[in-house]
Amino acid sequence: MSDERPVQYLSDDYLEHCRRMTTAQICEFLEDYRVLVLAAGHRAKRRAISIRIEEPLLRAFRRKAKAAGVPYQTQIHRLMEDWVRIPEEA
């Protein structure tokens, strides 16, 4: 399997269009892309991050996640996904 990836070149007009997008439009685009990638059977690459959280809050969060039978990092991931997902219009 080749490790080469195609390069996408974007026109100045497209880049200008992207600059004018609202936060909601950007979130919608990203969510649509995520759904397409998952539908194609691919899993997005994950990245380790570092975040500073007050110790009492982290302890309480970990306890609650453990009581629910969910790994706490998985729960953080789920909360992030839920927060960025734009509700579908009725």
As given in the structure block, the two tokens for residue 71 are: 């790994």
Q: Are the C-beta atoms of 86 and 31 separated by less than 8 Å?
A: yes
**Predicted pLDDT of residue 39:** 67
This prediction's pTM: 0.50
**Predicted pLDDT of residue 4:** 73
pLDDT tens for the chain, residues 1 to 90: 556 777 778 888 888 988 999 998 888 888 888 777 776 666 677 889 999 999 999 999 999 999 999 999 999 988 988 887 755 544
DSSP string covering 9-24, please?
P--HHHHHHHHT--HH
**Predicted pLDDT of residue 42:** 65
